[in-house]
Structures are given as structure tokens and as C-alpha cells.
């Protein structure tokens, strides 16, 4: 069910955590909800202030990287809402990895030394830094799971031209370098992340959110080398703690598995962890705002009227 209705609305999409409205085929209103997902499943309880955390953090990061490449965002008319330009998306997720962790580590542990056509050096341990960051793209599936894909296949399947692919790689690596710089100032390591791009006329534009805990993984820099040397788990800052709780409760999104009940205390814990993530990643105090749906809608409409839509 849609929360809002706009005069020149030309499309609507409800994602796992965001509601997206197309306006006059030229603009998007992206509303970050308090829904939370894991293992491609929306969990049954909303998380207070999660939408505000993600929306404001994404806006901060998009503003901090706009000198690298233009992005889609124009404004944030409400705490949970971003307004911006509608692009034609590349059906690719540009996954950048600075460390051998997650999916890359599972591939490596199983004996694989190539991921998405990218070679990984011998003799690495979990969470070690790659000699330099690698790009391991995946398809952006309309339905089902995203899948790994190589650069050659991207070009052969016309998901991007060779020139576009080179530009996407250049932007992704520059954005990752900037993300690592921002993280380092906060005592963090940006481990891996994903970027999505689209085209506006002939220009490649950065889309969606970037460097948020839903799209990225961070390690604490302090003690990193000691933990690596001792074979200990790295302290990380992401929503991995939600996945770990689900796994502990025998849920990984597989058929026949039941989503565990979320207690009020656990919901509050998740909310507090997201706020902590926000404050740690950008070093600013989070100020929660409670607006009604009607108040949010009025703010969006006022913003649209500035653009005669």
C-alpha cells in the first residue's frame, strides 16, 4: 500500500526497504522506510529511525563524493526522503572489495582463486587486504538473487559498452578511495561496498545510496593488525549482527525456515545499533525526528512544486 499520492506521479516501486515514486518521468522521490531485510527477506518488525539513519547517511556520503562524479540526488525534503533525477540504470552492481571477506572469502576457502574473472593472490587469510581493491560485479536482478558476472560477460551481454565499463570502474575505485578516507578519519576501515550507476542523457550518474551499513562493511582500525596476527575475528560495523542473530535462530532465508519473532527489546537494540553506526561513521550526533506521514507528504509536495511537478 502506497503512503503518498503525487499529482504528476508516473510510476511506483516498493523495494525491500525503500518506496520509490517516479515523478513526471524525470524525477524520483525515494522514501527510506523503517523496514529491515536480511537474506533477501523483509523481517516482520519495523526498526524505529532506521529510515532516517540510512537516508541522512546516504545524503552525507553523496554530497561528500559529488566532486568525483555527479549523482542523482537534488535534495532531502524530509528526514526519510531523497528527491533527485531519474536515470536509466545499468543492470550491474559495482562491488568493490578492499579485503578478503564475506563472499570473496567463502569462494577462496572453497579453493577458488578467481572471482568474477578477477584473480586473487595465493596465501591470503580471511580479512587480509588485497594488494589493491578489486571490482567483483554482480547482475542487478529484477527478481531473485543477484549473480556474479565478469567484465567480459558484461560487455558481451551489452550491459555496458567497453568505454562505459572503464568509466564505471574508474568511478567505483575513486569512490571507494574516498570512502576509505572518510572512514579512516573515524578510526574505521571501509572493507567492501557496492555502487549503482545510471545514465542521464549521455552522462554516467551515481545512483541509490552509498557507504551505508546496509550497502557496506566496516572494520574498526584499532587492533586490526593484532587481530589478524592472532587469527581473531575482526570487529565490524554493519548490519551483520542482524544476520548473525537470524543464523543463531536457524533462519537463512531458505525454503521452509521460519523467521524468528522479534521482541520489543531486540527491535530497540537494532534501532540503537543503527544510530550508533550513523554516529560512528560520520562523527555527527544523530537527531531523531518523528514526522507523521501527512507532514512528510506536505514537505515532499512543497519540494516538487519548486520544480513545477
Cβ atoms 39, 251 nearer than 8 A: yes
Total H helices, total E strands in the chain: 8, 17
In a domain? residue 202: yes
C-alpha cell recorded at residue 124: 591470503
Cβ atoms 58, 71 nearer than 8 A: no
Cβ atoms 200, 206 nearer than 8 A: no
Give the closest residue to 213 by CA, choosing from 234, 195, 188, 240: 240
pLDDT at 144: 53
Instruction: Tell me the CA distances in angstroms from 157 to 49, 91, 165, 203, 261, one per residue in order.
Output: 40, 11, 12, 21, 43
Residues forming beta bridges with residue 135, ordered by sequence position: 96
Q: Which residues contact 250 (CB under 8 A, 6 or more apart)?
A: 257, 260
In a domain? residue 31: no
pLDDT at 240: 82
Q: Would you give the DSSP letter of residue 137?
A: -
Q: What are phi and psi of 74, to 5 degrees?
A: -110, -45
Cβ atoms 82, 57 nearer than 8 A: no
C-alpha cell recorded at residue 116: 568474477
In a domain? residue 275: no
Give the closest residue to 303 by CA, choosing from 1, 82, 141, 62: 82
pLDDT at 141: 64
Instruction: Tell me the CA distances in angstroms from 184 to 91, 95, 259, one per residue in order.
Output: 31, 20, 36
| CATH code where residue 212 lies | 3.30.470.20
In a domain? residue 131: yes
CB atoms within 10 A of CB 132: 7
In a domain? residue 3: no
pLDDT at 191: 97
The residue range of the domain holding 222 is 89-237
Please report where in the chains the cell 523483509 appears, as a residue.
Answer: 42
Distance CA 214, CA 267 (A): 17
How many domains in the chain? 1
In a domain? residue 70: no
In a domain? residue 4: no
Distance CA 114, CA 145 (A): 20
Cβ atoms 208, 197 nearer than 8 A: no
How far is it between the farthest Cα atoms of the chain? 60
Listing DSSP states for 27-59 in one string gives EEEEEE-S--EETTEE-SS--TTHHHHHHHHHH
H or E stretch at 20: strand 18-23
Q: Which residues contact 188 (CB under 8 A, 6 or more apart)?
A: 218, 219, 220, 221, 237, 280, 281
CB atoms within 10 A of CB 49: 21
Per-residue pLDDT of the chain (309 residues; tens, 9 = 90+): 788 989 899 999 998 899 999 999 899 999 999 999 988 899 999 999 999 999 999 999 999 999 999 999 999 999 999 999 999 999 999 999 999 998 999 999 999 999 999 999 999 999 999 999 999 999 976 555 679 999 999 999 999 999 999 999 999 999 999 999 999 999 999 999 999 999 999 999 999 999 998 889 999 999 999 999 999 999 988 888 898 899 999 998 888 999 999 999 999 999 999 999 899 999 999 999 999 999 999 999 999 999 998
Amino acid at each position: 500500500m502506497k503512503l503518498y499520492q503525487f499529482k504528476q506521479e508516473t510510476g511506483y516501486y516498493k523495494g525491500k526497504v525503500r518506496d520509490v515514486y517516479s515523478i513526471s518521468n524525470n524525477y524520483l522521490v525515494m522514501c527510506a522506510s523503517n523496514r529491515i531485510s536480511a537474506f533477501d527477506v523483509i523481517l516482520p518488525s519495523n526498526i524505529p529511525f532506521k529510515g532516517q539513519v540510512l537516508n541522512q547517511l546516504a545524503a552525507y556520503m553523496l554530497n561528500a563524493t559529488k566532486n568525483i562524479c555527479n549523482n542523482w540526488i537534488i535534495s532531502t525534503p524530509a528526514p526519510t526522503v531523497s528527491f533527485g533525477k531519474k536515470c536509466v540504470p545499468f543492470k550491474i552492481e559495482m562491488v568493490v572489495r578492499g579485503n578478503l571477506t564475506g563472499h570473496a572469502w567463502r569462494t577462496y576457502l572453497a579453493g577458488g582463486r578467481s572471482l568474477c574473472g578477477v584473480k586473487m593472490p595465493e596465501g591470503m587469510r580471511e580479512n587480509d587486504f588485497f594488494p589493491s581493491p578489486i571490482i567483483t560485479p554482480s547482475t542487478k536482478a529484477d527478481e531473485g538473487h543477484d549473480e556474479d558476472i565478469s567484465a567480459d560477460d558484461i560487455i558481451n551481454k551489452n550491459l555496458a559498452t567497453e568505454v562505459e565499463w572503464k568509466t564505471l570502474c574508474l568511478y567505483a575505485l575513486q569512490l571507494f578511495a574516498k570512502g576509505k578516507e572518510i572512514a579512516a578519519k573515524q578510526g574505521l576501515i571501509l572493507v567492501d561496498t557496492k555502487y549503482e550507476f545510471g545514465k542521464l542523457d549521455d552522462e554516467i550518474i551515481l545512483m541509490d545510496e552509498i557507504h551505508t551499513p546496509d550497502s557496506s562493511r566496516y572494520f574498526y582500525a584499532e587492533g586490526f593488525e593484532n587481530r589478524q596476527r592472532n587469527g581473531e575475528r575482526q570487529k565490524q560495523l554493519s548490519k551483520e549482527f542482524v544476520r548473525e542473530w537470524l543464523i543463531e535462530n536457524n533462519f537463512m532465508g531458505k525454503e521452509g525456515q521460519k523467521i524468528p519473532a522479534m521482541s520489543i527489546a531486540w527491535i530497540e537494540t537494532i534501532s540503537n545499533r543503527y544510530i550508533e553506526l550513523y554516529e560512528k561513521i560520520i562523527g555527527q550526533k544523530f537527531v531523531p525526528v518523528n514526522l507523521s506521514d501527512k507532514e512528510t507528504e506536505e514537505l515532499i509536495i512543497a519540494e516538487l512544486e519548486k520544480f513545477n511537478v
